[in-house]
Amino acid sequence: MRSLWIHFVYFHVHAELVQLKKGIDETLNFGLVTCIHPLETRSLFAASSLFKVTPQYLCDSFVVKYSDNGSNKRNKEEAIIMYWYEYIENCYQENVLNLGDILKFLSGTAKLPASGFENCTKC
């Protein structure tokens, strides 16, 4: 399993990562700065560990594309979204499921990316 991960995840983007590092080092001498101040520069590439996924954040991260107003599909879609929001709120209040786990299921990451999410994910 580890070998598969290394091959498909690491080596798949290795050349791009090397090129990015080389460009940052050449233009900004950033490699030296990150070696000297690793904790201070970490937030530039990863989300803060202080960030907690809230129901409001999770619901605001997705834009729902509904069917035409008044259609039967629209009524069903509105009911589904209402139940979805209720589910998220219940998970948060009852601490049954970590909202980061729900975010990870939906987006592939349990933490906020350093650049944030654009509101372009479609339900």
Q: How do residues 55-106 score in pLDDT, each as one tens digit?
A: 887 787 777 889 999 888 999 999 999 998 898 888 888 887 777 777 777 7
62 in the same domain as 109 = yes
Q: Which two three-digit tokens encode residue 26?
A: 């050449």
Domain that includes residue 8, residue range: 2-42
Q: What residues contact 50, with CB distance under 8 A and at least 6 apart?
A: none
108 in the same domain as 84 = yes
Q: What is the pTM of this model?
A: 0.50
Domain count, the chain: 2
- Cβ atoms within 10 Å of 87's Cβ, excluding its own: 14
